[in-house]
């Protein structure tokens, strides 16, 4: 088996159907299997897969185990030379999986490979970034990379100077499409399940790189990524969880001083956003209820950031 496609789903029935259709219709020239891991969906996602995609292998969880743990479940039964972690809110284009497998076969030093990712309107969705650090967090929080997108220093974390149009080694391959080599996984181990959601692919890429493997971006294959279809259902909690994953990574791989700095910067990031959303709620700009809820979430983040990633972590 060339590749095992592992798709983790949580209440994304309709877009999951589209994703699976694209995998089966747009993959050729390789042998593959599809493994769907359902994290206790309540929208009939698992039943839809069993009814409409009988060839897919199915794992049904009775609780939401998170992204890392669910992917590990799929990996445990996978038979492929490669494991492709594919988000349920993606659409595979023009044999993207087959092309990426061929590329990985040619680059034996590649531990994990990502492809070119597009928005629904076919504009570029930047993927492939630097590892998190206190400096990169400061630059990201300042939004200077948006004011000066061509500046190499301000845009260093987001790699804003790069058009994603050439093969390049990156720190982090974005988790919506990650083709991982089995030999590399056997060397570094599975995903760290202490990351419930967000940060797990960054941690995995760090471990691949430290073990001597390359994390490569390949522009010759493309997918569409809708983005945030599961997390938008619990958006306030996921804002906290996103920052928790970031702090968890820094706590695990950086110095204690970097971690303390990151906690302070995270609190500042939340704090800068409280007042605008409070004003939006008072003035009735947009949806007032959403403005108040967002302000409350950011205020919670201000306080909890000082307690580190454990204080920010949310389970859904």
Q: What is the pLDDT of residues 16-71, one digit of tens each?
A: 999 999 999 999 999 999 999 999 999 999 999 999 999 999 999 999 999 999 99
What value does the CA radius of gyration of the chain take, rounded to a whole number of Å? 20
Q: Quick one: pLDDT band at residue 94, thresholds 50, 70, 90?
A: very high
Q: Tell me the pTM.
A: 0.91
Which candidate, 244, 238, 291, 233, places its Cα nearest to that of 267? 244
316 has a pLDDT exceeding 80: no
Question: What is the predicted pLDDT for the residue at 108?
Answer: 96
Q: What contacts 191, CB < 8 A, 6 or more positions away?
A: 68, 69, 71, 72, 200, 201, 203, 204
- Split at pLDDT 50, 70, 90, the class of 233 is very low
Quickly count: other Cβ atoms within 10 Å of residue 88's Cβ: 26
Supply the mean pLDDT for the chain: 92
pLDDT at 262 over 60: yes
């Amino acid at each position: 088996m060339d590749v095992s496609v592992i798709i983790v789903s949580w209440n994304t029935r309709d877009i999951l159907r589209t994703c699976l259709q694209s995998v089966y219709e747009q993959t050729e020239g390789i042998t593959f299997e599809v493994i769907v891991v359902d994290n206790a969906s309540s929208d009939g996602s698992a039943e839809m897969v069993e009814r409409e995609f009988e060839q897919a292998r199915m794992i049904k969880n009775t609780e939401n185990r998170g992204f890392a743990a669910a992917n590990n479940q799929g990996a445990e039964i996978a038979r492929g030379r490669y494991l492709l972690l594919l988000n349920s809110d993606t659409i595979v284009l023009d044999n993207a999986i087959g092309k990426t497998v061929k590329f990985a076969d040619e680059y034996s030093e590649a531990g994990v490979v990502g492809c070119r990712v597009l928005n629904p309107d076919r504009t570029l969705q930047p993927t492939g970034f630097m590892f998190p650090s206190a400096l990169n967090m400061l630059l990201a929080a300042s939004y200077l990379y948006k004011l000066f997108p061509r500046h190499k220093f301000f845009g260093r974390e987001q790699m804003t100077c790069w058009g994603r149009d050439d093969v390049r080694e990156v720190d982090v391959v974005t988790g919506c499409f990650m083709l991982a080599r089995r030999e590399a996984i056997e060397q570094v181990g599975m995903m760290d399940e202490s990351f419930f959601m967000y940060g797990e692919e960054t941690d995995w890429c760090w471990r691949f790189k430290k073990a001597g493997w390359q994390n490569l971006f390949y522009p010759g294959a493309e997918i569409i990524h809708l983005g945030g279809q599961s997390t938008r259902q619990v958006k306030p909690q996921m804002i906290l969880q996103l920052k928790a994953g970031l702090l968890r990574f820094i706590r695990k791989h950086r110095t204690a001083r970097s971690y303390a700095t990151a906690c302070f910067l995270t609190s500042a990031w939340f704090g800068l956003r409280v007042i605008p959303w409070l004003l939006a709620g008072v003035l009735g700009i947009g949806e007032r209820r959403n403005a108040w809820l967002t302000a409350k979430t950011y205020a919670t983040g201000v306080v909890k950031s000082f307690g580190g990633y454990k204080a920010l972590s949310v389970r859904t």
